[in-house]
């Protein structure tokens, strides 16, 4: 695949601030407790982590929005939170990063939060605070009304970030996709689970290999031909226009109706894949919204992911890091 590096560098340096993207879906807070592990507990055969630092970051759909905002994109988010401490932490971070959060809807469920305990460079434990029941009325209507309002105001792309925490029901996804197409706005999906009927007619979908296998009659291995065949299967079955499959150490595969591109990864040490999929969908969608071809956007997203997996914990790539990795290609 021939890629114009100067075109991509100019896009990252000069054009990303012009794009307007709305992220909708499962909003989360990621919390980290970091420390050292030097002994086993006398109370039970588990390691004792001496906590030396803590961190809170945006997670799920909020991490996608964070990636976009850090790259300069005009970013808005819509999703559901509880009226609790974790919600306030999210709102503070949205404010500091310039993310428009007028689409955040308060419900009577807690804010989805993942707490990870990390000893050295090893994740020791994860605790999930969540309710995964589908969001019902009147919250769903407020959510959809806000999305319609933003479409009327004008956006360049919409991302549905599905983590199966209740925001992305079949009804809401179908109505969002229909509304976007009425306004000629492309929809990019980060899927979850096996019920891909709710993503029917989407413009792009960005599954990893595990997510792709969840909807196949028979699981596949991480091979170019198998991934291409699987992508064509889901494009036919769910009438999805294009597939960008993320394949860990094998890079990404972009399958369009007329062509396929296998884009290898940039070789580096992998510390943590947390949030790498969020980075891929954010950078890919930003490329599409900004006028890059799908292949160019996929190439740029793959480079951005190479930065993220070399970091520990949920991480959002900056414009400076993306420019640096482009210059080193």
278 counts as catalytic? yes
Of 311, 230, 326, whose CA–CA distance to 276 is shortest?
Answer: 311
For strands 20-25 and 74-82, give the pairing: parallel
| Partners of residue 60 on adjacent β-strands | 27
Question: How many angstroms separate the CA atoms of 42 and 329, rounded?
Answer: 51
Question: How many angstroms separate the CA atoms of 90 and 85, rounded?
Answer: 9
Active-site residue, from 190, 203, 272, 278: 278
Question: How many angstroms separate the CA atoms of 61 and 82, rounded?
Answer: 15
Work out the burial of residue 53: count CB atoms within 10 Å of its CB; fewer than 13 is exposed, 13-18 middle, 19 or more buried: exposed
The two structure tokens encoding residue 50: 């001496």
Provide the total of helices (H) and of strands (E) in the chain, helices listed first. Answer: 10, 13
DSSP labels for 159-225?
EEE--SSSS--HHHHHHHHHHHHHTT--EEEE--SS-GGGGTT-SEE--BHHHHHTTSSS---S-HH
Question: How many angstroms separate the CA atoms of 61 and 195, rounded?
Answer: 19
DSSP labels for 244-257?
EEE-GGG-EEEE-S
Question: Which H or E element spans position 117?
Answer: strand 113-119
The two structure tokens encoding residue 302: 């793959």
Question: How many angstroms separate the CA atoms of 112 and 86, rounded?
Answer: 8
Which residues form the catalytic set?
A: 278
């Amino acid at each position: 695949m021939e890629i114009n590096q100067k075109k991509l560098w100019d896009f990252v340096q000069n054009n990303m601030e012009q794009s307007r993207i709305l992220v909708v879906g499962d909003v989360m807070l990621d919390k980290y407790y970091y420390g050292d592990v030097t002994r086993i507990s006398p109370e039970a055969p588990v390691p004792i982590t001496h906590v030396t630092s803590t961190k809170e970051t945006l997670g799920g759909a909020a991490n996608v929005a964070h990636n976009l905002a850090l790259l300069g994109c005009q970013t808005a988010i819509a999703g559901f939170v509880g009226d609790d401490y974790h919600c306030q932490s999210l709102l503070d971070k949205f404010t500091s990063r310039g993310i428009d959060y007028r689409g955040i809807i308060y419900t009577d469920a807690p804010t989805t939060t993942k707490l990870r305990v990390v000893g050295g460079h090893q994740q020791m434990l994860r605790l999930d605070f969540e309710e995964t029941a589908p969001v019902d009325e009147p919250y769903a209507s407020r959510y959809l009304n806000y999305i319609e309002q933003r479409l009327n105001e004008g956006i360049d792309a919409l991302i549905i970030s599905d983590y199966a925490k209740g925001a992305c029901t079949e009804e809401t996804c179908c109505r969002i996709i229909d509304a976007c197409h009425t306004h000629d706005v492309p929809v990019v999906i980060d899927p979850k689970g096996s019920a891909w009927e709710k993503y029917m007619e989407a413009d792009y979908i960005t599954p990893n290999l595990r997510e792709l296998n969840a909807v196949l009659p028979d699981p596949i291995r991480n091979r170019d031909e198998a991934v291409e065949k699987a992508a064509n299967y889901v494009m036919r079955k769910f009438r999805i226009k294009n597939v960008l499959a993320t394949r860990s150490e094998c890079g990404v595969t972009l399958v369009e109706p007329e062509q396929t591109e296998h884009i290898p990864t940039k070789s580096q040490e992998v510390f943590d894949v947390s949030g790498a999929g969020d980075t891929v969908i954010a950078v890919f969608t930003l490329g599409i919204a900004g006028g890059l071809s799908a292949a160019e956007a996929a190439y740029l997203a793959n480079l951005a992911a190479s930065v993220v997996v070399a970091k520990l914990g949920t991480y959002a790539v900056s414009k400076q890091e993306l420019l640096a990795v482009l210059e080193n290609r």
